[in-house]
Amino acid sequence: MQTLVTAALAVISLTCLAQAHMQMSDPPPLLSKWNKYTTSQDYDMTSPLHADGSNFPCKGHLNVLGTSQAQPVAQWTPGQSYSIRLTGGASHNGGSCQVSLSLDDGKSWKAIHSYVGNCPITGDSQFEFTLPGDTPSGSMLFAWTWFNKVGNREMYMNCAVINVLGGMSRKRRGTAESIASRPDMFVANVGNGCGTSEGKDVMFPDPGPDVDMDSTGTAPPTGNCNAASSGPSSGDAAEAPSSAAPQPSEEPEDDVLQSSAQPDPPAVVQPPNAPLRFTNDTMPAYGGQNSTMAPAPASPPADDAPPPPRTTEPAEPAPTSGPASGSQCMPGSYQCATSPSSGGQGWEVCDVSGTWMYAGDCGSDQVCKFDAANGSPYCVAPDFQFP
């Protein structure tokens, strides 16, 4: 009888463990129970990455790349909209998530959409994104990463193998920014010197041009996050085998998803290891208070014609230095702005065509402040001060 009770408690414990956190169910990750190619299931898919980063990236599952368990589970087309499905029993009050792509078996990652706040939610939820229009064709890794708001400072990561058809077309709809110029995936809480604050939604230093803002309180990351995307610095981190997932048989010499690749048109030269953004030194700490922003489209028109340049009408005399009103911006730079819809504060990004594009709203009780130290705008409480 005691044996039966012990066995029952063990089953209950495993069931609770399986529902303890969150996981991506679609596209089905490597070694997931939802993946039809899985033959050696990971029964702990919901656990975070190890604090020392020893199973970064992808929970160490990249060791099955190149095998039958790593066959593509989805067929996607550049410029089209897709969604991920998240499921689980403990969302830790949400947090911030990203979805990213890797073309080099997990050695480097490019974030294609950021979700700041309320990601994920308890139970089943879906989050939409658009596959960049110039994504190369072929098999690649797709990752969902999550930094929980409440609880231990952790990073969660699930990875799936997907196949992209008809890539590298510059005539498809989607965000104007080249995939090569997308920001590196944010990495923290895995022994790399970068962390997140308890009780706040982490505001990614470089969220990229496609962002969903749904936060009532954000905070910048803590520690040294300048090279956070490189993962843990120790040699213990899991590495993908050199014969991992198949790459496209034919790749154009340009626009390949590499950290050193240049977008089309050519990217602005920047120092090595610098984040892919440029600080607007003329921008005030409280962006948008002295200017009115004209509405900017979230994505270019379907015919690929560049959107009209943003115009600025200062309420007070404009500074004598800095770019003139309505002038083109530096691709990859960010600044605070006035929301064209609500009139509140938000932020915008300069796309590769040199045009400001409105990117997201701050909360009703927040203001946008620009951190010149890393070239990032943040939605924060009015009394927040950068260190």
Mean pLDDT of all residues in 109-114: 97
Q: Looking at the domain assignment, is residue 276 inside a domain? A: yes
Closest CA to 94 of 121, 116, 124: 121
Q: Looking at the domain assignment, is residue 347 inside a domain? A: yes
Q: Looking at the domain assignment, is residue 193 inside a domain? A: yes
How many residues make up the chain in this entry?
Answer: 387
Q: How much is the pLDDT for 364?
A: 80
Last residue of a domain, one of 185, 209, 230: 230
Q: Looking at the domain assignment, is residue 34 inside a domain? A: yes
Q: Are residues 226 and 279 both part of a single domain?
A: no
Q: Looking at the domain assignment, is residue 169 inside a domain? A: yes
Q: Are residues 206 and 330 both part of a single domain?
A: no
* Total number of domains constituting the chain: 2
Q: How much is the pLDDT for 229?
A: 54
Q: Which residues contact 77 (CB under 8 A, 6 or more apart)?
A: 131, 164, 165, 166, 172
Separation of CA 347 from chain center: 17
Q: How much is the pLDDT for 384?
A: 85
Instruction: Read off the CATH number of the domain in which 124 is found.
Output: 2.70.50.70
Q: Looking at the domain assignment, is residue 245 inside a domain? A: no
Q: Which amino acid is at 111?
A: A
Half-sphere exposure in the Cβ direction for 268 (13 Å, CA): 17
CB 379 within 8 A of CB 215: yes
Look up the domain containing 95 and give its range.
Answer: 23-230
Q: Are residues 156 and 103 both part of a single domain?
A: yes
What 3-state DSSP class applies to 252?
coil
pLDDT greater than 50 at residue 220: yes
Q: Are residues 215 and 273 both part of a single domain?
A: no
Closest CA to 202 of 223, 182, 181: 223
pLDDT greater than 50 at residue 227: yes
Beta strands in the chain (DSSP E): 22-26, 75-76, 81-88, 95-102, 110-116, 125-130, 138-148, 156-164, 194-195, 201-202, 211-213, 218-219, 222-223, 334-338, 345-350, 356-361, 367-371, 376-380
Sign for the pseudo-dihedral over CA of 348, 354, 355, 357: negative
Q: Are residues 224 and 292 both part of a single domain?
A: no
Last residue of a domain, one of 204, 230, 256: 230
Q: How much is the pLDDT for 122?
A: 81
Q: Looking at the domain assignment, is residue 369 inside a domain? A: yes
Q: Looking at the domain assignment, is residue 329 inside a domain? A: yes
Query: Tokens at residue 19, please?
Result: 């529902």
Q: How much is the pLDDT for 110?
A: 97
Separation of CA 139 from chain center: 20
pLDDT greater than 50 at residue 253: no
Q: Are residues 83 and 190 both part of a single domain?
A: yes
Q: Are residues 226 and 278 both part of a single domain?
A: no
Q: pLDDT class for 174, splitting at 50, 70, 90? A: very low
Q: Are residues 296 and 212 both part of a single domain?
A: no
